[in-house]
Amino acid sequence: MRPINILFVQLGFHEDFPDVSKLATTYSDGIYYVASYVQRHCPGARIDMCQMLWDEDPAGFPIESYDYIMISALASQFWSNIPVLELLKSRKKPGCKIIIGGAHATFAPYEVLEYANYAILGEGEVPSVQLIRRLESGGDLREVDNLCYLEEDGSLVLNKSIHYGNLNNIINPGFLRRAPRLHWATLSMSRGCPYDCSFCYGVRIQGRRFRTKDVRDIQREINGIHGETGCTRFYVTDLNFTTRKDFCRSVAAAVREQNYKFIAMSRIEIADDSEFLVEMRDAGFQEYCLGVESDSADVLTAFNKRVDPCQQTARLQKFAGHNIYIHSAIIFGLEYQDRSAVEQTARWCADARIVHPTFVCLAEYPFQDLIYGFRGDIEDYRIIMNIPTYQHYSFVGFLPRHMRPSELQRSIIKSYDIFFQRAFELETRPQRRMRLKAYARSIEYSIPGMQKHILFLEKFEKPYYTASGHLREEVLKSDFEARYGGLREWLENSLKEHSQSPRECSK
């Protein structure tokens, strides 16, 4: 293969709509895994990294010199950076290919292909190498896994979906050389989750088959990132790190003597094994992001959570008793979650001793049933699309039936006030109070964006609600059909004529 130049770009958040965890945002590990894998399997590649989350500007890179520009983005990052995408598209040299991956490319490839030649859906390492090799040496693009592109007739091609086994892919720490001081360094130790919560986009990207990395590679990766950045705190981005306790214990044994701290995603049931919790805590796993979602049995059933809601409070308090900090997203927006239910849930988070609750709203992509056969929690026509807060979770992005979007956004803001007031009443331990104060400061950073979003919502929602606040669904459906009916028809025809049947395979 000839020597090639590749620019990897991680898009950032809109300055007016920062992520609720902006103060702790460090980098998305996904693009670093792809860049590291490409570097190892395409020896002639020279790679530059542009990290917009660190305020790096793509315009400052020699855009005209690259053969490939590879971009990763969430939906909010995509719609916040249209001028950046237009700049890259206009300045790239003839023959340079733009490839976009990440969550937004996976669930809305038809949107990213306006600015890219190719979209990679789901896991991106292997498909990126396959695509580059075929573009460099020739070959059938239909054989590239997880690839989406436009055929010459303008229709959408969606290749087969693949989830991979144990790639033992680790981040090249050299790509983090320009990193600022990091609150957390991110990495993954496993992929996949055996559960099937309806709202989870992560399991749609990584699949339900749980696959672990080699513990020696994990240890080498952690030490490499620490050596390059000095960071001693690590955010484990696995969907469900504690799926296999034997694996967790092996990781704990490998890092126990190094005084690293970890936060990992898990399910609440691990609270039932106190011995395991203490063993992992003493090895540095002192924080977990738990899939709590709600205190309501009805909400948990609606989301296919498969947990016993009667045990949630006691389990969460057990974590606090072991001095383990809990983060969790609390989801609002279902039909029976009125304002009083929202406020009650905020108080419950404090009573259950959650230290970092993130209050979010339902968020869906349209056309997921059409493209992938995925169930959605809300209908396509109720989704507010193509704005910087689209799929932003803390910012309301759909039209509820019995509560205006602006009212739901105000409820999210008020939920934080209710939570912190109650939490400071209950929490007496100095270290946990310090954590609550630090979290309150990060929330304050995001409130102005939520308030600005309310102004947009009030204007946007006005035609679609009665004076009493009920959704005028027929009006909304008619408007949706006028705006997106042609897009839906194009997707249907493309999938029938040119695309392989979407299916989940493993390699």
Mean pLDDT, 10 residues at a time, the chain of 507 residues = 94 83 71 97 94 94 98 95 98 97 96 98 96 94 96 93 87 95 92 87 87 96 96 95 96 95 95 96 96 83 82 94 94 90 95 95 93 88 95 94 96 97 96 95 91 97 96 97 96 82 53
CATH code of 27's domain: 3.40.50.280
Domain extent at residue 158: 4-122+124-162
Q: Please write the tens of the pLDDT for every residue from 23-65.
A: 455 788 999 999 999 999 998 899 999 999 999 999 999 999 9
- E strand intervals along 391-469: none
Are residues 101 and 232 located together in one domain of the fold?
A: no
Structure tokens at 235: 């955010």
Are residues 132 and 229 located together in one domain of the fold?
A: no
**Residue 56 and residue 31 in contact, taking contact as beta carbons nearer than 8 Å:** no
Residue 487 and residue 500: Cα distance in Å, rounded? 19
| pLDDT at residue 154 in the model | 92
489 assigned to some structural domain: no
CATH code of 366's domain: 3.20.20.70
Residue 485: Cβ within 10 Å count? 11
| pLDDT at residue 505 in the model | 56
**Residue 286 and residue 325 in contact, taking contact as beta carbons nearer than 8 Å:** yes
End residue of a domain, out of 337, 356, 378: 378
Are residues 292 and 221 located together in one domain of the fold?
A: yes
End-to-end C-alpha distance for the chain, whole angstroms: 25
Q: Is 25 helix (H, G, I), strand (E, B) or coil?
A: coil
293 assigned to some structural domain: yes
Structure tokens at 242: 């504690």
Q: Please write the tens of the pLDDT for every residue from 416-445.
A: 999 999 999 999 999 999 999 999 998 998
Are residues 323 and 192 located together in one domain of the fold?
A: yes
225 assigned to some structural domain: yes
End residue of a domain, out of 378, 413, 428: 378
320 assigned to some structural domain: yes
**Residue 190 and residue 210 in contact, taking contact as beta carbons nearer than 8 Å:** yes
Residue position matching structure tokens 């917009």: 52
**Residue 222 and residue 172 in contact, taking contact as beta carbons nearer than 8 Å:** no
3-state secondary structure 90-123: HHCCCCCEEEEECHHHHHCHHHHCCCCCEEECCC
Q: Are strands 211-212 and 190-191 parallel, antiparallel or unpaired?
A: antiparallel
Are residues 207 and 108 located together in one domain of the fold?
A: no
| pLDDT at residue 24 in the model | 54
Residue 475: Cβ within 10 Å count? 12
- Which of 48, 54, 132 shows the shortest CA–CA distance to 98? 132
417 assigned to some structural domain: no
pTM of the model: 0.94
Are residues 323 and 236 located together in one domain of the fold?
A: yes
The residues that bridge with 465 in the sheet, in sequence order, are 471
Are residues 358 and 241 located together in one domain of the fold?
A: yes
277 assigned to some structural domain: yes
130 assigned to some structural domain: yes
Are residues 157 and 201 located together in one domain of the fold?
A: no
Residue 55 and residue 444: Cα distance in Å, rounded? 21
**Residue 148 and residue 122 in contact, taking contact as beta carbons nearer than 8 Å:** no
Structure tokens at 345: 């849930």
In total, how many domains does the chain have?
2
| pLDDT at residue 203 in the model | 84
Q: Is 191 helix (H, G, I), strand (E, B) or coil?
A: strand
End residue of a domain, out of 352, 378, 404: 378
Instruction: Name residue 385's amino acid.
Output: M
**Residue 250 and residue 272 in contact, taking contact as beta carbons nearer than 8 Å:** no
Residue 178: Cβ within 10 Å count? 11
Are residues 56 and 33 located together in one domain of the fold?
A: yes
441 assigned to some structural domain: no
Are residues 218 and 100 located together in one domain of the fold?
A: no
Residue 205 and residue 207: Cα distance in Å, rounded? 6
Q: Please return the burial class of 152, using the count of CB atoms within 10 Å of its CB with bins 0-12, 13-18 and 19+.
A: exposed
**Residue 146 and residue 161 in contact, taking contact as beta carbons nearer than 8 Å:** yes
Structure tokens at 201: 């986009």
**Residue 142 and residue 127 in contact, taking contact as beta carbons nearer than 8 Å:** no
Q: For the chain, what percentages of helix, strand and coil (3-state, to nearest 5) are there?
A: 50, 15, 35
Structure tokens at 176: 């983090």
Are residues 363 and 290 located together in one domain of the fold?
A: yes
- Which of 65, 73, 53, 54 shows the shortest CA–CA distance to 7? 65
Backbone angles phi, psi at 210, to 5 degrees: -80, 125
| pLDDT at residue 23 in the model | 47
Q: What angle do CA 419, 423, 429 make, to 5 degrees?
A: 155
Phi-psi region of 391 (alpha: psi -120 to 50; beta: other; left: phi over 0): left
Are residues 344 and 232 located together in one domain of the fold?
A: yes
Convert 289-314 to b/e letters by CB count within 10 Å (16 or more is b): bbbbbbbbeebbebbebebebeebee
